[in-house]
Amino acid sequence: MNNFHKKKKSIKELGLTLIEALVSTALVGIGFVAIFQMVNYSVQSIDVSSERTKANYLVSMIAEDIIGNKNTLHSSGSKFSKHLTENRIMNSGCIERPGNKSELNTFYKDQKNNAPENKIQKWTEVFKSQKLIKCGAAGTETKNIKTVRIFDMCKSDCTVVNENIYDKVMYIGRVQININDGKKRKYLYFQSNYEINQKEDSTTETEDAATGS
């Protein structure tokens, strides 16, 4: 009887079987895989959010550059907005990220005596580099395009014809920056400048004087 009790006790004290150990390991492994996927997704989300924030900053900066110099003449003799209607700024290429901080001071190099030209040079340097916006994986450069374009709108003889435009011409800017291999896009439309139609103004003043208003 004593031998029987000793044998029964030894059976209860036995460890896990091989199958039980494998099942436990598989369950733990599945849990870790799920955790790693969540961590990877979180890192990617943070990266995309960071790129979006920088894209928002850049499109706002470009719009402010154009509006702030709307009456400044380009070296071609045209006002800044007029010049941009005929010369779209576009870049889909990319250069390597700078290796040290000394290479970062290139946005304002070789400054000229013309503000619009300096602005365009700054945009070009920003667009073609990875200093602020990542260019994406190799082979996807053409998807991460960055463009600045101005459309002129008027009643006739403009890029966009609209009968409801009462100014002589209105200039509408469009800035586009693609990020995340072209999967995310940031657009900004804004009024960059306008030219008053003197004939419309004089007609309105005559009508107001006739009605006594």
Amino acid at residue number 58? L
Q: 163, 157, 142: which is closest to 85 by C-alpha? A: 157
Q: What is the pTM of this model?
A: 0.70
Cα angle: 75, vertex 111, 134; to 5 degrees? 105
**Range 108-114 average pLDDT:** 78
Q: Which of 22-26, 55-59, 108-112, 170-174 has the lowest mean pLDDT?
A: 108-112
The residue written with tokens 């509006």 in the block is 67
List pLDDT tens digits, range 47-90: 888 888 888 998 999 999 999 998 899 988 999 999 999 888 88
8 A C-beta contact, residue 150 and residue 194: no
